[in-house]
Amino acid sequence: MTAATADINRIGFSSEIFEQFLASRQEPAWITEKRRAAFETYQTLLAEELDPEEFKRVDLRIFNAARFRPFAAPTDPSAVSALLRDRAEFGGSIIHRDGHADAAMLADSLRAQGVLFGSLAEFLSSHRDLLEPRFLQQAVKPDSDRFAAWHAAFWTSGTLLYVPRNVEVALPLHSLIAHTRDGVADFSHTLIVLEDGARATLLEETASASAETAGLHVGCVELIVGRDACLRYVQLQNWNEKSWHFAHQAGCVGSGGSLQWTAAGLGSRLTHIHQDVNLEGRSATAEVNGVTFAGNRQKISWYTQQHHRQQGTRSDLLYKQVLRDDARVVWRGMIKVDPAAQQTDGYQRSDALMLSDDARCDSIPGLEIEADDVRCTHGATTGRVDREQIFYCMSRGISRKEAMHMIVEGFFRQVYDRIPIEIVRETLSRTVQSKLGIETTGL
């Protein structure tokens, strides 16, 4: 029998689309030059196979890039239902609609202390010296893979948070990335820079205006945490189930710094997140929390790496995944320890709870250790809901739905307990109820 050939023309954007995109932008020449360099890299990478270690379990055959385009004109402000917005007091907020930033706000007291928060594109123009050495240079490199290069060439809008040395941003900041129109290709970027001794919290969420609009998000998150600085970053991915979501996300933590990173994968048709945590200074720490709830035919893939580069660093990753219907979740995690990173303490764990016969979860933890005085442990579990637990609850007058909710809630409890921000815990809990089909109010 002759072999079939795969069509690779569905996976990316052509040079014509790139030129149209550039013509729609009004940017300084140095940004345009960087875009052109990234597009060259992108074209090279587009012709190459994706790294099989990372992508062999992510089936991209259904993905068709030709259905999506960046929108040149901003969208009319319209109501987008979001999980976190309006549920707490924020020190600043920004909204991105279809790749265009608007409605940025920052408290005057923070602005007076030198905090920068708002549209990344505007700040790149006005603060080039400060941001150019960090933007797509330090945490995520455009040549990392096809999606990173695609993003670097086409990034549309983005959020910048810059906190000067020893400044503490007490109230959390909020960013909403929304899709309102069908066929939108959105390449939003998040860049957070905390100088030495600074502290801040950013809550970021994604949403679709309706369940019917198909969207593409090729995102990038860069978290740069200075010496003795402390960043809490939360991202709730809640696209509708017609959206495609690819992202390169990386955090770099300096000496004595700490990063607490919570990522939730709730929506999208297909998500693939490449998440790196780089512990670059002595005694840097990172705690990574992941919550996934996938149903129907959703496919959510996480590729995580905890990279210990210096002595005395500590990382702790815990992912909890719940699957129902025909959903599929892939988690592939790696702890990497450089020869210099003695006295490393690294931990990673992923637990999956299956609510149906047809769901599938692949959990693949890994260790790559080049130092000889470390403690690195990892583990993964996958299991079904115990029918006896359901029966026990029902025998005490609890409905099957409520019993299922109690069990799922209990399963997620371990990761909720690690999240110190109450509205995030509460929001995740309500969203899980909603996905289980339990009535919620005020969501």
Partner 1 sequence: MERMIGIDELRPGERRSVFVDDVPALVIRLAEDSWHVIEDVCSHDGQPLTNGDISDCSIACPRHAARFDLRTGKALCMPATEPIRVFRVEIRDGAIWAAP
**Half-sphere exposure for 171 (CA within 13 Å, toward CB):** 14
Burial class (CB in 10 A: 0-12, 13-18, 19+), 420: exposed
CA 178 to centroid of chain Cα atoms: 14
For the CB of residue 244, give the shortest distance to partner 1 in the complex, in Å.
12
Residue 272 CB, shortest distance to partner 1, in Å, is 14
Structure tokens at 347: 């931990």
Per-position x/- string for 361-400, each x denoting binding to partner 1 as judged by CB under 8 A, each - no binding:
-x--------------------------------------
User: In angstroms, what is the minimal distance from the CB of 93 to partner 1?
Assistant: 37
Half-sphere exposure of 263 (CA within 13 A, CB side): 29
- Contacting residues for 322 by C-beta, under 8 A, at least 6 apart: 292, 293, 294, 352, 353, 355, 408, 411, 412, 432
Cα separation of 402 and 393, whole Å?
9
Cβ 61 to partner 1 shortest distance, Å: 5
Least distance in angstroms from the C-beta of 2 to partner 1: 5
1 makes contact with partner 1 (CB under 8 A): yes
| Strand partners of residue 69 | 184
- Cβ-based nearer residue to partner 1, 59 or 370: 59
By C-beta, is 6 or 394 nearer to partner 1? 6
Rg (CA), the chain: 21
Question: Between residues 359 and 424, which has the closer beta carbon with respect to partner 1?
Answer: 359
Nearer to partner 1, 182 or 362 (CB): 362
- C-alpha 64 chain-centroid distance: 22
For 378, list phi and psi in degrees, rounded to 5.
-150, 165
Beta carbon of residue 29, minimum distance to partner 1 (angstroms, whole number): 43
Site for partner 1 in 44-83 (CB under 8 A): 56-57, 59, 61-62
Complex with partner 1: residue 214 or 259, whichever CB lies closer: 214
Using the minimum distance from each CB to partner 1, give the nearer residue, 7 or 89: 7
One symbol per residue from 5 to 44: x for binding partner 1 (CB under 8 A), - otherwise; what is it? xxx-------------------------------------
Q: How far is the CB of 293 from partner 1 (least distance, A)?
A: 20
CA distance linking residue 330 with residue 3, whole number of Å: 28
What's the CA angle centered on 428, arms 206 and 307, to 5 degrees? 70
**Which is closer to partner 1, CB of 163 or CB of 294?**
294
Q: E-assigned strands of 153-242?
A: 158-163, 173-179, 184-186, 189-194, 199-208, 215-225, 230-238
Whether 276 and 287 have beta carbons less than 8 Å apart is answered as: no
Among 174, 314, 328, 405, binds partner 1 (CB under 8 A): 328
Distance of closest approach, residue 360 Cβ to partner 1, in angstroms = 6
d(CA 5, CA 8): 9
Question: In terms of CB distance, is 182 or 345 closer to partner 1?
Answer: 182
Window of 3-11, 83-91, 117-125, 420-428 that interacts with partner 1 by CB under 8 A? 3-11
Alpha helices per DSSP H over 64-140: 108-112, 120-126, 128-131
Q: Is 211 in the site for partner 1 (CB under 8 A)?
A: no
Cβ distance to partner 1 smaller for residue 6 or 72: 6
- Token pair 């959510």 is found at 300
Smallest gap from Cβ 185 to partner 1, in A, equals 19
* AA letter at 127: H
Cβ–Cβ under 8 Å, residues 188 and 214: no
Task: Give the nearest distance from C-beta 62 to partner 1 in angstroms.
Answer: 6
Question: Total residues at the site for partner 1 (CB under 8 A)?
Answer: 15
Q: Which is nearer to partner 1, 75 or 292 (CB)?
A: 292
| SS3 call for 396 | coil
Determine contact, residues 181/212, Cβ cutoff 8 Å.
no
Which lies closer to partner 1 via its Cβ, residue 320 or residue 328?
A: 328
Q: Site map for partner 1, 334-363, x if CB under 8 A?
A: --------------------------x-x-
Report helix, strand or coil for 138: coil
Question: Closest approach of Cβ 178 to partner 1, in Å?
Answer: 25
Contact in structure between 267 and 206 (CB atoms under 8 Å): yes
Q: What is the DSSP letter of 50?
A: P
Residues that bind partner 1 (CB under 8 A): 1-7, 56-57, 59, 61-62, 328, 360, 362
